[in-house]
Structure 1
Amino acid sequence: MTAEKEDLRRQALAWLAALSLQDKKSGDDALFRRFLSLPQTRAAHTILLYCGMGTEPDTLRLLPALFAAGKRICLPRCLPGNQMEARLVQPDSSLICHPYGMLEPGTDCPLVSPEEIDLVLVPGLAFDRSGGRLGRGGGYYDRWLAHFSGVTAALCRDGLLMDAVPRLPHDLGVDLVITETGLYGPSASGTGKSGA
Structure 2
Amino acid sequence: MSKPKLRRSLLQSRRQLSEGDWRDRSDRICEQIRQCPRFQSAQTVLSYVSFRREPDVLGLVSGERRWGFPRCVGESLLWHSWQVGDRWVPGAFGILEPHPDSPQIAPETVDLILVPAVACDTRGYRLGYGGGFYDRLLSQPQWREIPTLGIVFEFAYLAELPIEPWDCPLTGVCTEARWVETRS
Scaled by the length of structure 2, the TM-score of the pair is 0.92
The correspondence of residues 60-71 of structure 1 with structure 2, limited to 5 A, is: 60-64=58-62, 67=63, 70-71=64-65
Q: Where do 1:4-153 residues align within 5 Å?
A: 4-64=2-62, 67=63, 70-80=64-74, 82-147=75-140, 148=143, 149-153=145-149
Letter of the aligned partner of 2:45 in structure 1? I
1:194 matched to which residue of 2? Answer: none
Q: Partner amino acid for 1:175?
A: T
Runs of 4+ residues over 4 Å off in structure 1: none
* Matches of 1:39 and 1:184, distance apart in 2: 11
For residues 175 and 57 of structure 2, what CA distance do their matches in structure 1 show? 14
Q: Give the one of 139, 154, 164 matched to 1:168.
A: 164
Look up the SS of the partner of 1:13 in the other structure. Answer: helix
Residues 159-168 or 179-188, more deviating: 179-188
How far the C-alpha of 1:182 sits from its partner, in A, is 2.2
CA distance in 1, matches of 2:125, 2:150: 10
Instruction: Give ranges in structure 2 of 5+ residues lacking alignment.
Output: none
Which amino acid counterpart does residue 25 of structure 1 have in structure 2? R
Q: State how far apart, in whole Å, the 2-side matches of 1:59 and 1:53 are.
A: 11
- Give the paired residue count: 181
The match for 1:192 is: none
- Structure 1 unmatched ranges of 5 or more: 189-196
* RMSD over equivalenced CA pairs, Å: 1.5
CA offsets per residue over residues 123-146 of structure 1, 9 Å max, x none? 110111111100001111111112
